[in-house]
Amino acid sequence: KRMKARAPPPPNQPSAASRIHSEPKSPAETSVISDQNLVSMKENMINRLVDFTVVLPSGMEQKCTVEGSKAVMDVLVDLCSQYHLNPSQHSLELKSSGTQQVLSYKPNTLIGALDVQTVLLKEKIPEEKAKRPLPRVPEKSVRLVVNYLKTQKAVVRVSPEVPLHNIIPAICEKCEVSQEHIVLLRDGITGEELELTKSLEELGIKELYAWDRKKEPNRKASVSSDAIEKEKTRLLGLFNADRRSSK
C-alpha cells in the first residue's frame, strides 16, 4: 500500500520573549512605562550641569555653571555670596532659552528641572519705599494785597514767580470778580495796567488794584476816586500825628 504523505510542519511559533513584546499592553502597563520614562528624563536633567548667564543688579553679565540638583533658593544664596550681596534683599528672575520667557518656580524647585538660559539677580524694592510718594517741595508764596471796588481790600497768598494771568483766578475768587471783566492795575492812583506775562517778583510789587470793568465802568473816575480816598487817609494820618506831637 502507498503511504500517505507526511503533513507539513506548523508555522514557526513566536518565542515567549517576542510574544511578551507583541502582546497588546493594558492602559495601566502603558502608564507605568511612560512614568518610568518621565522619571528617567527628569533624573537626567537634574543630574546634569546647568550653564546660564547671570545678570547682576549693576547690569554686568557673568557666565555660571551649577549642578542641576541644586534648588533655586540655594542658587540665589550662592550667587549673593559670590558677589557679596544680601540674599534677603535680592531675588532671581529666570528666563527660558530661545523665547526668553520668565519662568515660574518655587524656592525648592531644582534648577535642572527648568529650561534656564538667563538668570537676573534683582534687588528687591521695599514695599514702604515703593508706595511712599516723593516728598513735595513746598511752593514759595507771598501775601498779595488786592484793592478793589474803590475801598475794599483782600489778601491772597500766591506764588511770586508765576505770570500774573496764572493768579487771576485766585484774585477773582477772593474778590468775587469775573475773570472776563477784571483788569489788574499797579495802583488806584496812576491807573497803570500791569503786564499779565510778568510775575510779581519781576514787577517788584506785593500790592495791586483789581479794576472790575462791569461794576466800575468809568476807569478814570474809579482810579481818581480811589486816589482821593487814599489822599484823605494820608492827610488824616498827618493831622493826627500833628495833634499828638503838639500835646
Query: 136-147: per-residue pLDDT in tens?
Result: 777 789 999 999
Q: What mean pLDDT do residues 76-97 have? A: 90
Amino acid sitting at position 205: I
Q: Residue 135: pLDDT band by 50, 70, 90 thresholds? A: confident
List the CATH code of the domain at 44-123. Answer: 3.10.20.90
Fold matches, 44-123 and 142-212: yes
Higher pLDDT, 202 or 214: 202
Higher pLDDT, 223 or 219: 219
Query: Can you give the residue ranges of every domain in the chain?
Result: 44-123, 142-212
pLDDT at 207: 93
Q: What mean pLDDT do residues 227-238 have? A: 64
> Would you give the end-to-end CA distance of the chain in angstroms?
183
Place of cell 526668553: 100
Q: Residue 227: pLDDT band by 50, 70, 90 thresholds? A: low
CA dihedral (224, 225, 229, 232) positive or negative: positive
Mean pLDDT estimate for the chain:
78
From the candidate CATH numbers 3.30.540.10, 3.10.20.90, 3.40.50.970, 3.30.70.260, the one assigned to the domain spanning 142-212:
3.10.20.90
Q: Residue 75: pLDDT band by 50, 70, 90 thresholds? A: very high
Q: Which of 44-58, 95-109, 147-161 has the lowest mean pLDDT?
A: 44-58
Q: Please give the C-alpha separations between residue 173 and each of 114, 154, 160, 237, in angstroms, as whole numbers.
A: 66, 11, 18, 32
Q: Which of 23-27, 147-151, 174-178 has the lowest mean pLDDT?
A: 23-27
Higher pLDDT, 214 or 92: 92
Q: What mean pLDDT do residues 37-54 have? A: 71
Return the beta strands (E) in the chain as ranges. 49-55, 61-67, 90-96, 116-123, 142-148, 152-158, 182-185, 207-212
Rounded Cα–Cα distance for residues 79 and 37 (Å): 33
Q: Which of 1-15, 66-80, 107-121, 169-183 has the lowest mean pLDDT?
A: 1-15
Query: 121-131: per-residue pLDDT in tens?
Result: 998 877 665 56
pTM for the complete prediction?
0.39
